[in-house]
Amino acid sequence: MFSVFKNRFEQGYRTCSYPKEKPAVFERYRGKPMVRQDAPQDMVDICAEACPQDAIDRNLKKIDMGKCIFCGTCERLSNKEFVQFTGDFEISTAQKDHLLTAGDLPDLAEHSKQHFKKLFGRSLQLRQVSAAGCNACEADLNVLATPFFDLARFGINFVASPRHSDGIVVTGPVSRNMKTALLQTFEAVPDPKVVIAVGTCTITGGPFSGSPEITEGLDKILPVDLFIPGCPPHPLTNLHALLAFFK
Amino acid sequence: MMTAFLNISNGEAIDRKKIPHLPFADFSENALEIVKKGGKPVQLFAYQDGPALKFMAVLRTDKLWVAGCDAPESYPSLTQTCEPFHMFEREMAEQFGVQPVGHPWLKMVRYHANYRKVKDVFGNHYKEDIPGHYDYYQVEGNEIHEVAVGPVHAGVIEPGHFRFNCIGEKVLHLEIQLGYQHRGIENLLCTVKAKRLPILAENIAGDTTIGHSLCMAEAVEALTRVQPDKGAKIIRTIALELERLANHIGDLGALSGDVAFLPPANYFGRLRGDFLNLALLISGNRFGKGLVRPGGVRFDLSDDVRKTLGERLKELKPQVTHVLELLFLASTVRDRFEDCGRVSKMDADHLGLVGPAGRASGLAYDVRRCFPTEYFGEIGIPENKKFTGDVYARARVRYDEVLQSMSIIQSLIGQPVETRIVNASDFNLAPFSFVVTLNEAWRGEVSHAVLTGNDGKILRYKVKDPSFHNWNGLAMALRNTGISDFPLNNKSFNLSYCGFDL
């Protein structure tokens, strides 16, 4: 018993004060990309060519965060003169086309469906469906339950049954073998319900684009309300998205 | 050892002409001979070489051995004599429609049509949902009942279907049906542009990003005759150990949660995040995505980063140690861990278990010690084997490895680490070559095998995650265990669904 108390004392209080204050993330973290649209075309072309996800629109000079895996190749090739990844983790959007960006994202709180705030603002119960990703998105959703993020203090929980939930959080590029289970889980959630797409491969197929085994975009099979990009999205990105969209 | 198989090294590219191409009977006989004497299959796969379908096997004793043969449409199953071939033969039947005659349990692995578009071995047309034309294993008798769980589970975890055959609360048999996460990665790896290869490797299993990335990087390095510098090897070693730390600590926390001892569950949950953040400190990504590339690393260990890493480890080490003590000294925890889900050494050996699951049952195999890559040749890795094969042993292996990994990293960051950052995303692979790479990721042996054609293009890219070996270990652990101990046993293995399903 004594060692339980001793450890409790050593561990201290660990919960972050987000959203009041933004916790610091290490410098090398790659968050929202800032794109300089006056970059020379040849530089843009080199970056677009090298991008492993083909996420750069070379004509519009914008990055599609729905395809981007935030590897930083373009930042490095352009020596930050075309793209620079900032430490800003608040990068989620309510519409898929908002993800194609030069760095100026619309305010998520304003673009969220306002009736959701009324319905779910004080209590939001979510059912997570993992559908063929790499398990990194799941892992960084799971950590929201740890003391540092403590998602439950906002009245948001992940629950065991779709019957008890207000919506589903989908990760992964929805494989052929997982599609029916996903659709049945969605069906089992009572109306009105929310669909949240977490991670690049959920939004566009991401690294698995081109495989006949997957679905290139959850929005092709379900009405998605909230897009959380990243590979995987940082837990703070997830937290921001849930708070801005529903609170 | 007298064998027709050729001795090769981990990460050594060889001309495919040098690989013994045996008649099937000799191939089978020699492979069985090696495995009967205690060897294990690392890889056994089929591949299409022009019009011909061929098999290739990589086996391990204290060395690695390779040979190939022409693939018969049907052949006497190797599994009949040696169980460790069990999953491999099922996989070959599914991928290429070849029939292992006499296989004791010829069941699909991931549920997809075969690549050759020949008659399906399992009688499926794949218009029905998984599991298609397949009746789960059934136990009959009075008071026997079945419990079906998944593919969507109660937690935030990957999908899979578990079917328990029980009498009362006792599990007689657990059947595990996976395949829900199948993304067709092996085929993608053969068709995508070179710039996408490392990205795909990182996403085979996100919790094993470094393990799979290292296997790919070493394979490409061998096939392009490029060697990473010493600094890159050190950074990659640190990254692999950080990955082990984050996952082992997370697992210990989850195990604690499953026996309802909440303080360590919460502390380890938080501490796991701290180790993920150390991966982010180096690479900008909590899972180390973007760090490892063929030829080296994309991020150096600047003195600032090295200093921060050292400071954080110094701060975290006593915390981790104290929580480990809290967990392992609690009599209630030991009561639940001990003798739960026992897998005997003999069963573990027959199933070919690897990694902590194998070491917990007395199989000391560790790639870091047996076939060292990166900087592991310079580091002494203890055997870490345990003898009881229960949840306690699987937890205890992690306990030891957590402490070792922290010491390994601390020993590597005492001096400045210099490396030349790599950026190249294109490479020309040596034509008509073969390479196999192995690394000890946190779950055990990860292996990639690459065959190139005459044009230097990838002809076959075979990926094996340790979970491919270990899922049957979980099924074995559950026998005659109370069904309420399933979560605890499941966490003690914590296997990858996507790594298995690829």
Using a CB–CB cutoff of 8 Å, tell me whether A28 touches chain B: yes
Choose the closest CB to B183 out of A139, A161, A173.
A173
Choose the closest CB to B207 out of A72, A139, A146.
A139
- Do the domain assignments include residue B216? yes
CA distance B337 to B363: 20
| Residues in Cβ contact with A54 at an 8 Å cutoff, skipping those fewer than 6 apart | A48, A67
Residue of A nearest to B290 (CA): A71
Q: Are residues B160 and B267 in the same domain?
A: no
Shortest distance, CA A222 to any CA of chain B (angstroms): 17
Choose the closest CB to A135 out of B158, B269, B282.
B158
End-to-end CA separation in angstroms for chain A? 40
- Do the domain assignments include residue B274? yes
The boundaries of the domain holding residue B204 are 185-501
% of chain A surpassing 70 pLDDT: 100
Q: Does residue A11 have a pLDDT over 90?
A: no
Comparing A4-13, A235-244, B409-418, the range with the smallest average pLDDT is: A4-13
Shortest distance, CA B177 to any CA of chain A (angstroms): 12
Q: Are residues B375 and B438 in the same domain?
A: yes
Alpha helices in A12-121 (DSSP H): 41-50, 73-77, 108-111, 114-120
User: Could A214 and B329 be called an inter-chain contact, meaning their C-beta atoms sit closer than 8 Å?
Assistant: no
Taking residues A65-83, what's their average pLDDT?
93
Residue whose token pair is 């018969």 = B72
Number of neighbouring beta carbons within 10 Å of residue B118:
13
Residue of A nearest to B293 (CA): A71
User: Could A208 and B319 be called an inter-chain contact, meaning their C-beta atoms sit closer than 8 Å?
Assistant: no
3 state DSSP class of A157? strand
pLDDT in tens, A159-172: 999 999 999 999 99
Report the alpha-carbon angle B445-B448-B449, nearest 5. 130
Chain A residues with CB-CB distance to B290 below 8 A: 30, 70-72
Using a CB–CB cutoff of 8 Å, tell me whether A158 touches chain B: yes
CA distance B222 to B220: 5
- Do the domain assignments include residue B262? yes
Decide which of B101, B124, B155 is a domain's last residue: B101
**Number of Cβ pairs closer than 8 Å across A and B?**
205
Q: Are residues B404 and B435 in the same domain?
A: yes
The pTM score is 0.95
Choose the closest CB to B273 out of A53, A143, A208.
A143
Shortest distance, CA B305 to any CA of chain A (angstroms): 10
- Do the domain assignments include residue B31? yes
Chain B residues with CB-CB distance to A26 below 8 A: 277, 280-281, 284, 308
Mutate one of B108, B117, B153, B180 to test the A interface: name it (highest A CB count within 10 A).
B180
Q: Are residues B158 and B227 in the same domain?
A: no
End-to-end CA separation in angstroms for chain B? 35
Q: Does residue A109 have a pLDDT over 90?
A: no
User: Could A214 and B183 be called an inter-chain contact, meaning their C-beta atoms sit closer than 8 Å?
Assistant: yes
User: Could A138 and B158 be called an inter-chain contact, meaning their C-beta atoms sit closer than 8 Å?
Assistant: yes
CB < 8 Å from B in window 73-132 of A: 73, 76-77, 85, 128-132
Q: Are residues B262 and B245 in the same domain?
A: yes
User: Could A3 and B325 be called an inter-chain contact, meaning their C-beta atoms sit closer than 8 Å?
Assistant: yes
Choose the closest CB to B179 out of A72, A130, A177.
A177
Query: How does strand A124-130 pair with strand A167-171?
Result: parallel
Give the pLDDT confidence score for residue B135 in this predicted structure.
86
Report the alpha-carbon angle A132-B194-B13, nearest 5. 100
Q: Are residues B218 and B149 in the same domain?
A: no
Q: Are residues B169 and B204 in the same domain?
A: no
Give the pLDDT confidence score for residue B1 in this predicted structure.
67
What CATH number is given for A109-246 in this structure?
3.40.50.12280
User: Could B287 and A139 be called an inter-chain contact, meaning their C-beta atoms sit closer than 8 Å?
Assistant: yes
Q: Are residues B251 and B162 in the same domain?
A: no
- Positions of chain B with pLDDT lower than 70, given as ranges: 1
Domain count, chain B: 3
Residue of A nearest to B265 (CA): A146
- Do the domain assignments include residue B239? yes
Q: Are residues B46 and B153 in the same domain?
A: no
Q: Are residues B324 and B348 in the same domain?
A: yes
User: Could A213 and B183 be called an inter-chain contact, meaning their C-beta atoms sit closer than 8 Å?
Assistant: yes
- Do the domain assignments include residue B16? yes
Residue whose token pair is 């004080």 = A122
CA distance B157 to B80: 35
| CATH code where residue B249 lies | 1.10.645.10
Edge-to-edge order in the sheet of strand B444-452: B14-15, B433-441, B444-452, B458-464
Residue of A nearest to B207 (CA): A136
* Residue A118 binned pLDDT confidence (cut-offs 50, 70, 90): confident
Mutate one of A177, A211, A242 to test the B interface: name it (highest B CB count within 10 A).
A177
- Do the domain assignments include residue B382? yes
Edge-to-edge order in the sheet of strand A156-158: A156-158, A124-130, A167-171, A194-198, A226-228
ipTM score: 0.94
Shortest distance, CA A4 to any CA of chain B (angstroms): 7
Strand partners, B45: B56
Token pair listed for B450: 């690459």
User: Could A71 and B323 be called an inter-chain contact, meaning their C-beta atoms sit closer than 8 Å?
Assistant: no
Shortest distance, CA B290 to any CA of chain A (angstroms): 5
Shortest distance, CA B333 to any CA of chain A (angstroms): 13
Using a CB–CB cutoff of 8 Å, tell me whether A34 touches chain B: no
User: Could A135 and B285 be called an inter-chain contact, meaning their C-beta atoms sit closer than 8 Å?
Assistant: no
Strand partners, A169: A128, A196
Using a CB–CB cutoff of 8 Å, tell me whether A152 touches chain B: no
- Do the domain assignments include residue B132? no
